[in-house]
Amino acid sequence: MIVKIMIFLITLIGLTFCWHSASAQSNESSSKKILVYPRPEGHFDRRHDYTLQLLELAISKAQHAYVLIPSRIAMPQGRAFQQLEKNRGIDIVWSMTSIEREEKFLPIRVPIMKGLIGWRIPLILKANQHLFTKSTTLNQLRKFSVGQGHDWPDTEILKHAGFDVQSASTYKGLFEMLINRRFDMFPRSVLEIWSEEERYKKEGVMAEQNIIIKYPTATYYFVNKDNTQLQEVIASGLSIALEDGSFDQLFYRYYQSLINKANLNNRKVLVINNPLLSAETPLKIQRLWYQPVHYDAETHPMRVSYLSITKLR
């Protein structure tokens, strides 16, 4: 009888402990705000791994509690911005900036890719490399048709530079169009192209070997026009991460090997203008941008102060 009573008491204590533990976890979870971001367009799309981790870092540095979750369905860039503008199920979007986007939304003006989103290597068919080898000027390169997303700022930038641009409504569709020769090249950031080349190399896709198209641009986090609180949280968190070095540490952990692989010093750089770039882009804050190897950060120091958060909005 005594044994049964002891077993009953032990069981009761265990259940009580579990209840309190679950209750504490539930309270902790409920105290955190949900932050919904656009779900990637496919499981193969790893472009957002770094930006998600950087966002988590910024939130942590700002000492705020948010839980990041993807949207219920995948959505292309244009749809994500529509939902963000209407405040329907999307709280934050990260993408290349433009004057129009900075007018419609609240940008956090920290180029999270350090401007390398505008350093573009053409993704081409291997069978056409010999044609590109002979093309070393912009005029020569303009004879090749270009593929881009229909709602990407790059489309207008490349059109403005005189390129014939063919557009697609989905990210995956652009690779299918390239493989099927619907256009000749698909300019991709030096940070994106290598995983894409690997994924489609069996279809004869490769990174062009000699040239790079470069234009000034930035990828920002954007929030709804009325969500000034979230803008403040992310801006302050990114500023702290820039100041303590954790921003750069994360960036180069993800991308240093890809930058090295791009062999930038041995490529012909073809520079074009970006008519969509806002005058408020912090181009003069050198600390925010990727600097070529000849740039000496010790000789040209440029620190970002936590006290200058307003400059990052």
Q: Is the dihedral of CA 38, 44, 46, 52 positive or negative?
A: positive
Region for residue 72 given its phi and psi (left: phi exceeds 0; alpha: psi -120 to 50; beta: otherwise): alpha
CATH of the domain at 235: 3.40.190.10
- Structural domain contains residue 44: yes
Instruction: Give which of 121, 81, 88, 35 is closest to 222, Cα–Cα.
Output: 81
Model pLDDT, residue 47: 73
Model pLDDT, residue 125: 98
Model pLDDT, residue 292: 76
Among 214, 246, 281, the domain boundary falls at: 214
Q: Are residues 127 and 197 in the same domain?
A: yes
Q: Are residues 107 and 224 in the same domain?
A: yes
- Structural domain contains residue 4: no
Among 174, 193, 214, the domain boundary falls at: 214
- Structural domain contains residue 23: no
d(CA 187, CA 207): 9
Residues 95-137 pLDDT 10s:
999 999 999 999 999 999 999 999 999 999 999 999 999 999 9
Q: Are residues 38 and 89 in the same domain?
A: yes
Model pLDDT, residue 41: 74
Is there a contact between 145 and 184 (Cβ–Cβ < 8 Å)? yes
Q: Are residues 222 and 210 in the same domain?
A: no
Residue 228, C-beta contacts closer than 8 angstroms, at least 6 positions apart: 106
Among 214, 236, 252, the domain boundary falls at: 214
Is there a contact between 75 and 259 (Cβ–Cβ < 8 Å)? no
Model pLDDT, residue 291: 84
- Structural domain contains residue 46: yes
Strands 211-214 and 119-125 turn out to be antiparallel
- Structural domain contains residue 78: yes
Region for residue 230 given its phi and psi (left: phi exceeds 0; alpha: psi -120 to 50; beta: otherwise): alpha
Looking at the 3D structure of the chain, how many domains does it have?
A: 2
Q: Are residues 65 and 206 in the same domain?
A: no
Q: Are residues 89 and 124 in the same domain?
A: no
Model pLDDT, residue 9: 41
Q: Which residues make beta-bridge pairs with 269?
A: 212
- Structural domain contains residue 207: yes
Q: Are residues 201 and 226 in the same domain?
A: no
Model pLDDT, residue 31: 62
d(CA 81, CA 222): 9
Q: Are residues 222 and 91 in the same domain?
A: yes
Q: Are residues 69 and 155 in the same domain?
A: no
Range of the domain at 194: 117-214
Residues 156-197 pLDDT 10s:
999 999 999 999 989 999 999 999 999 999 999 999 999 999
Model pLDDT, residue 65: 87
d(CA 172, CA 10): 58
Q: Are residues 108 and 138 in the same domain?
A: no
- Structural domain contains residue 283: no
Q: What is the pTM of this model?
A: 0.82
Q: Rounded to a whole number, what is the largest CA-CA distance in the chain? A: 95
Is there a contact between 172 and 42 (Cβ–Cβ < 8 Å)? yes
Q: Are residues 58 and 206 in the same domain?
A: no
- Structural domain contains residue 231: yes
**Mean pLDDT per 10-residue section of the chain, whose length is 313 residues:** 46 42 42 88 75 97 94 92 96 97 98 97 97 95 96 95 95 96 97 95 97 97 97 97 97 95 93 97 95 48 34 51
Q: Are residues 121 and 210 in the same domain?
A: yes
